[in-house]
Amino acid sequence: MKMNNMKMSRFLAGMLLGAALIAAGLLLSLLGYDALFIAAGGVAALIVAIVRFWQRGDQPEKDERTDKIRAFSLAYSWFASIILSLVIFCAVFMGIIDPSASTALSAVIYIMTGSAILFIIVLNRRGDVGRS
């Protein structure tokens, strides 16, 4: 019962977040800002909340294996990001590229997010972190 309540709370929180983002994105767009990506993020949040609620049944959302995989994925993604930051820094220092601050930050954000998701998928398929 406690698990179901928690799951329902998370589902409602996800739906509320999605709805708020969609409303904010549309409102800002109507006011002339280029903010449709916020509404797109809201749609993504809604889809994630619905799919997670629908898929998981009455299983726990996480356990010790998924916690371990998430922790290691974040650590690996942090490592990938620091390597990328180093590469960008060296490339700028040597005059090979000249990205703006926002471009460089965007690259790091995309790499952090993307690599974390990728590591979670790969490790989930393998079943565990490291050798077993």
Q: Is 122 in the site for other proteins (CB under 8 A)?
A: no
Residue 41: name the closest of 55, 54, 26 by CA.
26
Nearer to other proteins, 1 or 131 (CB): 131
Q: Among 30, 64, 93, 100, which residue interacts with other proteins (rule: CB under 8 A)?
A: 64
Phi, psi (5° rounding) for residue 34? Answer: -85, 80
Q: Among 5, 93, 102, 127, which residue interacts with other proteins (rule: CB under 8 A)?
A: 127
Nearer to other proteins, 82 or 117 (CB): 117
Longest dimension (CA), the chain: 60
Q: Is 55 in the site for other proteins (CB under 8 A)?
A: no
Hey, what's the torsion of the CAs at 17, 22, 23, 28, to 10 degrees? Answer: 120
Q: Among 4, 30, 63, 95, which residue interacts with other proteins (rule: CB under 8 A)?
A: 63
